[in-house]
Amino acid sequence: MKPNLNVNFAGIKLKNPVLSASGTFGYGYELADLIPLKKIGAIITKTITFEPRPGNPQPRIAEVEGGMLNTIGLQNIGVKAFVGDPLEKLAKIGVPVFVSVAGHSLEEYAQSAKVLSSYKEISAIELNLSCPNLKKKIVCHDLPLTADVIKSVKKISKVPVIAKLSPLVADIAELSLAAQNAGADGVTIANTYPAMAIDVKTFKPKLSTVKGGMSGPCIKPMSVRAVYDAYPVLKIPILGCGGITSGQDAVEFMLAGAAAVSVGSASLVSAQNIIKIIDGIEKILAEKNISSAAALTGKINQAVNIC
Ligand SMILES: Cc1cc2nc3c(=O)[nH]c(=O)nc-3n(C[C@H](O)[C@H](O)[C@H](O)COP(=O)(O)O)c2cc1C
């Protein structure tokens, strides 16, 4: 029998648990000529801010062993332009659309949420809480600000609000719980890891902003650990993210506690990868005679005592 890949994520029915991660899939519709977008569980757009942003100067990307660094700087067309043609094209694909939103201040998050709230084509808002605030501090490194951003967007939004968290915090369970208590309907664990690289031929940093975010296979074990730590304290679902390149990686995140996963850098390597990951999950379920993907969440076989 064919395994059932459907999952329910924060009340949203997904045909499978694989989403495109923000910023690595354009606004979502641009890949239509390369892959059957209809096969994806849901599309998460690149992060949108209230005003358009040009992003950071080049170089904005650098390869490192096992992954990559980026400092795109939230380049985007701004929320008012997004709800025009891009949203119309996205809606035609026929999969749920999660819009990623960021801001430098609580007010900026709320302003964008207000514009988005009148569009029924949007299934969820993912709050990118890993961007710097006006004092150059990462939003989700400030627990009270994180809670306030979530509360203010929840007041406005008619759709589920997912808090995307930075993994570089002392206690990811505490941060996830704060997001849940503020009203988040789900959490994404996790965004990139702060990192840097220097070219030893020129002695120059490889990124224009010196530091950026690390992603790709090298971060996977750290993000799986973060999901595993947050899962026991949460009632809301986790969207696992970090270094997923295969069905096996996706299943690993789900066994650690994720209800669904999002695929980032792997889509930059090849647009086909996200489809291969969906097929890979199905193959593993069939081989193991597991009837549904939803049954994987938190089912790590933990025979040893943990200290
Ligand atoms: C080039 C690039 C751009 C990204 N842009 C965003 C973004 O706009 N918003 C966001 O929340 N995350 C962004 N991310 C982070 C990814 O969504 C994802 O959380 C992270 O890369 C870890 O997953 P991965 O290892 O599968 O890439 C970006 C990542 C990359 C590589």
CATH of 7-55+72-193+215-296, one of 3.30.420.130, 3.20.20.70, 3.40.50.620, 2.60.40.2240: 3.20.20.70
Alpha-helix runs per DSSP H in the chain: 79-82, 85-93, 106-116, 143-156, 172-181, 220-230, 247-256, 265-269, 273-287
Counting atoms of ligand 1 from 1, which one is nearest the CA of 243? 25
pLDDT at position 302 is: 83
Measured in angstroms, how far is the CA atom of residue 129 from the centroid of ligand 1?
Answer: 12
Is residue 68 within 8 A of residue 16, CB to CB? The reply is no
- Run means of pLDDT, 10 residues per run, the chain, 307 residues: 96 98 95 96 97 96 97 96 97 97 93 96 96 74 93 97 95 97 98 97 97 97 98 98 98 98 98 98 97 98 70
Counting atoms of ligand 1 from 1, which one is nearest the CA of 164? 11
pLDDT at position 307 is: 58
Give the residue among 2, 7, 1 at the shortest CA–CA distance from 250: 7
Measured in angstroms, how far is the CA atom of residue 291 from the centroid of ligand 1?
Answer: 31
Is residue 63 within 8 A of residue 81, CB to CB? The reply is no
Counting atoms of ligand 1 from 1, which one is nearest the CA of 21? 17
pLDDT at position 303 is: 67
Taking the CB of residue 58, how many other CB atoms lie within 10 A of it?
A: 9
Which class for 305: exposed (0-12), middle (13-18), buried (19 or more C-beta within 10 A)?
A: exposed
Tell me the pairing of strands 198-199 and 204-205: antiparallel
How do the domains of the chain map onto residue ranges? 7-55+72-193+215-296
Question: How far apart, in whole angstroms, are the C-alpha atoms of residue 268 and residue 211?
Answer: 20
pLDDT at position 222 is: 98
> DSSP for 67-79?
EEEE-----B--H
- Give Cα separations from 8 to 146, 168, 292, 295 (angstroms): 25, 28, 12, 12
Determine the 3-state secondary structure of 132 from DSSP.
strand
Measured in angstroms, how far is the CA atom of residue 218 from the centroid of ligand 1?
Answer: 14
Is residue 242 within 8 A of residue 167, CB to CB? The reply is yes
Ligand 1 site residues, Cβ closer than 6 angstroms: 21-24, 46-47, 68, 70, 72, 74, 100, 128, 164, 191-192, 215-216, 219, 241-244, 263-266
Question: How far apart, in whole angstroms, are the C-alpha atoms of residue 254 and residue 238?
Answer: 9
Mutate to test the pocket of ligand 1, among 265, 267, 269, 270 (most ligand atoms within 8 A of CB): 265
Measured in angstroms, how far is the CA atom of residue 8 from the centroid of ligand 1?
Answer: 23
pLDDT at position 131 is: 77
pLDDT at position 284 is: 98
Is residue 241 flagged as an active site residue? Answer: no
Residue nearest atom 23 of ligand 1, based on CA coordinates: 242
